[in-house]
Amino acid sequence: MVLSNLTAGYGEGNVLHNINIEVEEGKIVAIVGSNGVGKTTTLRCIMGIIKPKVGSIVFNGQNLGLLPSHKIAIAGVSYCPEGRELFGNLSVYENLRIGGYLVKNYKNFKSRLEWIYELFPRLYERKSQLSASLSGGEQQMLAMSRALMPTPKLLLLDEPSLGLAPILVDNIYEKIKEINRSGTSILLVEQNVDLALEISEQSYVMEEGQIRLQGKSKELLNNEYIKNAYLGVG
């Protein structure tokens, strides 16, 4: 997927200015930066929640910028929002069912469901429970699972570590690696720069709506600016 020259915002002003990001197939790419710089806005733009004012989002030959959200989902992109945004009035199972809305036949749906339950056994235990009553970690698991149900080619993950205890965060990140191994490309937005740089192959550092730095994550880990500004703080 390639984002070219993306400029977008809410209402009159623009949050993103001329963003260029590339996600190669099968890779994990991270966008890092502090609060409010536009990382979530980028993901929202890709997913069609807000429309780009300038620029294009090319994915598998299609310009996602022209499509409504549900068609973007059909194209193979999935979104796990910041703060989870579960359907609080639905149970765990029903949330997964919506996640799997696009799954064509019942057999596929069942096998995806089983794969999810293997990945996150706790969800199976709580499958009839109202999603609003789950703990923070369980909600995060559910949010990711919901996004994974249609076997997306590209998964957009927004701040998966937000509000979770460190041990849960490690757990989640292990699962993210597993998900990537099974063939899903991942675009990860993360405030915790450490985690992000460790798990991803390519990273982009965003500040005030623009890409300040980019490169292979391993190299960025040793970058002086990053070390001073972000590492140890994130």
Partner 1 sequence: MYIYVIQQLINALAYGSVLGLLAVGYTMIYGILGLINFAHGEIFMVGAFACYLLVSALHLPFMIGAVGSVFASILVGLLLYKLVYQPCIKRKAPVLAVFIASFGASLGIKYLFMMIFGDQRRAFPIPESLTGVYEIGQITVNMRDFFMLIATIIIMIGLTYLIKYTRIGVAMRAVSYNMKIAEVMGVDSAKIVVAAFIIGSALAGVSAVQYGLNFSILYPNMGFTPGLEGFIGAVLGGIGNVPGAMIGGFIIGIGEILFVALLPPSFSAVRPMFVWGLLFLILFIKPTGLFRPNIKYEGIWGE
Work out whether 83 is an interface residue with partner 1 (CB under 8 A). Answer: no
Which position among 88, 121, 163, 183 is part of the footprint of partner 1 (CB under 8 A)?
A: 88
Work out whether 45 is an interface residue with partner 1 (CB under 8 A). Answer: no
Shorter beta-carbon distance to partner 1: residue 29 or 86: 86
Q: Give the pairing of strands 2-8 and 54-59.
A: antiparallel
Q: Give the pairing of strands 185-190 and 2-8.
A: unpaired
Alpha carbon dihedral 159, 165, 171, 177, in 10-degree steps, equals 20
Which position among 7, 56, 87, 119 is part of the footprint of partner 1 (CB under 8 A)?
A: 87
Query: How far apart, in whole angstroms, are the C-alpha atoms of residue 9 and residue 50?
Result: 8
Which position among 7, 14, 27, 49 is part of the footprint of partner 1 (CB under 8 A)?
A: 49
User: Under rule CB under 8 A, which residues in 92-151 are in contact with partner 1?
Assistant: 94, 97-99, 101-102, 146, 150
Query: How far apart, in whole angstroms, are the C-alpha atoms of residue 14 and residue 7?
Result: 7
Work out whether 165 is an interface residue with partner 1 (CB under 8 A). Answer: no
Work out whether 90 is an interface residue with partner 1 (CB under 8 A). Answer: yes
User: Do residues 133 and 92 make contact, with C-beta atoms less than 8 angstroms apart?
Assistant: no
Query: How far apart, in whole angstroms, are the C-alpha atoms of residue 40 and residue 97?
Result: 25
Shorter beta-carbon distance to partner 1: residue 79 or 173: 79
Shorter beta-carbon distance to partner 1: residue 38 or 81: 81
In 10 A of CB 53, how many CB atoms?
Answer: 13
Query: How far apart, in whole angstroms, are the C-alpha atoms of residue 5 and residue 53?
Result: 10
Shortest distance, position 19 Cβ to partner 1, whole Å:
20
Work out whether 73 is an interface residue with partner 1 (CB under 8 A). Answer: yes
Binding site for partner 1 (CB under 8 A): 47-49, 68-70, 72-74, 79, 81, 85, 87-90, 94, 97-99, 101-102, 146, 150
